[in-house]
Amino acid sequence: MLFESYQLKNMKLKNRVVMPPMCMYSADTLGFANDFHYVHYASRAIGGVGLIIQEATGILPNGRISENDLGIWSDDHIPGLKKIVDLIHANGSVAGIQVNHAGRKAKVNGKIFAPSALGYSNDYEMPHEMSKKDIKDVIKAFAEAARRADQAGYDLLELHGAHGYLIFQFLSPISNQRTDEYGDGKVFLREVMEAVTKVWPKEKVLCLRISATEYVEGGVTPESISEMINSVKDLGLDLIHVSSGGNVLVKINAYPGYQLGLAERVKELTGLPVIGGGLISDIVLAEHAVASKKCDLVYLGRVLLREPYFVLNQAKEVGYDIEYPKAYLRGKK
Ligand SMILES: Cc1cc2nc3c(=O)[nH]c(=O)nc-3n(C[C@H](O)[C@H](O)[C@H](O)COP(=O)(O)O)c2cc1C
């Protein structure tokens, strides 16, 4: 099933393998894409990945995880991003982008803010509590980023609501201790989605990445996060990308497929298709994840950093006759 096609709205994938967003910290300090990004993303497209979701891309300069994140806060970023999209398309894959505000996990010059004035760790700056104006400005920036992503030609937009970045900081009771209406984390997510869906085309896929557990008492659970998703999904949420952790410094016991149970539970509780994965580096486990309906699509992260042609090579290994890039046909035998 892994190598079978999949369609969601206008998005047609040739297989169910997803390259998840992975920060490359390789942009210049103004957030512009360069040759590294063009080669990096085109290689995974040539390598047979069905859907490539571009790394966390900053919606505002102070929302970047680092000074070298890709940016989407200016129309000037659109041509470089469009080149990434065009290269992915030209090499047979589908292009998604993850848009992000890092909140208290931003390591940049500028005002660092978060739902509450609670620090992440000693290595990070203590954030200011966001004012209502800060919140409105960020919501507007998410919508502007969505408009630019559409203009650049992306097929899927992913809101980064996982790993302890700003949207997740609102969703988690550990990082959100506000006493106003935004103390209910769903309110911020709903307002972001309302703004984004005004500009992101209805026929294109809107995805939300979430952490379904924080591995500590008092954090979100698959049940609480699914309830939040259910309260906003009517606005036009199509796909959930299930991950975990990142809001609290805690050791995670990771093993191959360790987040598949979370993906399965979120799928069950929300009724939405999900992308699942975590430490998957063999095709048999990826196939099992999809065939056993734990998830609809599987993400392969670090293995694709090591092996851009993993999908082509593994298909050959298991004897699946995958479509090959025309120029590489002589290497198929
Ligand atoms: C270098 C690197 C950068 C990452 N950057 C992001 C990111 O920008 N956004 C995100 O949601 N997850 C990010 N992640 C997490 C991955 O998307 C993925 O969830 C994680 O690596 C687990 O999958 P894997 O075990 O298959 O690698 C990153 C992971 C790595 C290794």
Beta carbons of 120 and 105 less than 8 angstroms apart: yes
Q: Does residue 162 lie within any of the structural domains?
A: yes
pLDDT for the residue 92: 96
Q: Does residue 113 lie within any of the structural domains?
A: yes
pLDDT for the residue 31: 98
From atom 18 of ligand 1, which residue's Cα is the shortest distance away? 301
Q: Structural domain of residue 173, as residue ranges?
A: 17-253+267-273
Beta carbons of 134 and 114 less than 8 angstroms apart: no
Mean pLDDT of 53-82: 98
From atom 11 of ligand 1, which residue's Cα is the shortest distance away? 21
For residue 28, what are the CA distances in angstroms to 34, 67, 69, 105, 152?
A: 8, 8, 8, 19, 19
Q: Does residue 287 lie within any of the structural domains?
A: no
Residue 279 CA: which ligand 1 atom is closest?
A: 25
Q: Is 87 exposed, middle or buried (0-12, 13-18, 19+ CB in 10 A)?
A: buried
Q: Does residue 298 lie within any of the structural domains?
A: no
CA of 257 relative to ligand 1 center, distance in Å: 14
For residue 117, what are the CA distances in angstroms to 114, 170, 176, 178, 303?
A: 6, 12, 9, 9, 37
Instruction: Give tens-digit pLDDT for 275-325.
Output: 999 999 999 999 999 999 999 999 999 999 999 999 999 998 888 999 899
Instruction: Give tens-digit pLDDT for 12-59.
Output: 999 999 999 999 999 999 999 999 999 999 999 999 999 999 999 999
pLDDT for the residue 96: 98
| 8/20 Cα distance (integer angstroms) | 17
CA of 302 relative to ligand 1 center, distance in Å: 7
Q: How many domains is the chain built from?
A: 1
| 322/313 Cα distance (integer angstroms) | 10
Q: Is 320 exposed, middle or buried (0-12, 13-18, 19+ CB in 10 A)?
A: middle
CA of 179 relative to ligand 1 center, distance in Å: 33
| pLDDT band per the 50, 70, 90 thresholds, residue 332 | confident
Radius of gyration over every alpha carbon of the chain, rounded to an integer in angstroms = 19
pLDDT for the residue 98: 98
Mean pLDDT of 73-98: 98
Q: Does residue 233 lie within any of the structural domains?
A: yes
Q: Does residue 281 lie within any of the structural domains?
A: no
Query: Please, which residues bridge with residue 159 across strands?
Result: 99, 208
Instruction: Give tens-digit pLDDT for 113-127.
Output: 999 999 999 999 999
Residue 280 CA: which ligand 1 atom is closest?
A: 26
Instruction: Give tens-digit pLDDT for 199-258.
Output: 999 999 999 999 999 999 999 999 999 999 999 999 999 999 999 999 999 999 999 999
Ligand 1 site: residues with CB under 6 angstroms? 20-23, 55-56, 98, 160, 162-163, 209, 243, 277-280, 300-302
Mean pLDDT of 253-281: 97
Output the average pLDDT for the chain: 97
Q: Does the pLDDT value for residue 333 go beyond 80?
A: no
| pLDDT band per the 50, 70, 90 thresholds, residue 161 | very high
| 98/77 Cα distance (integer angstroms) | 15
CA of 75 relative to ligand 1 center, distance in Å: 27
- CA-nearest of 128, 70, 133, 122 to 104 is 128
Q: What percent of the chain has pLDDT over 90?
A: 96
Q: Is 149 exposed, middle or buried (0-12, 13-18, 19+ CB in 10 A)?
A: buried
Q: CB atoms < 10 A from the CB of 148, how many? A: 25
Q: Does residue 27 lie within any of the structural domains?
A: yes
Q: Is 86 exposed, middle or buried (0-12, 13-18, 19+ CB in 10 A)?
A: middle
| 90/80 Cα distance (integer angstroms) | 15
CA of 19 relative to ligand 1 center, distance in Å: 9
Q: Does the pLDDT value for residue 81 go beyond 80?
A: yes
CATH number at 213 reads: 3.20.20.70
Q: Which two tokens stand for residue 325?
A: 């890039």
What residues have CB less than 8 Å from 330, skipping those under 6 apart?
none
First-residue to last-residue Cα distance in the chain: 23
Q: Does residue 51 lie within any of the structural domains?
A: yes
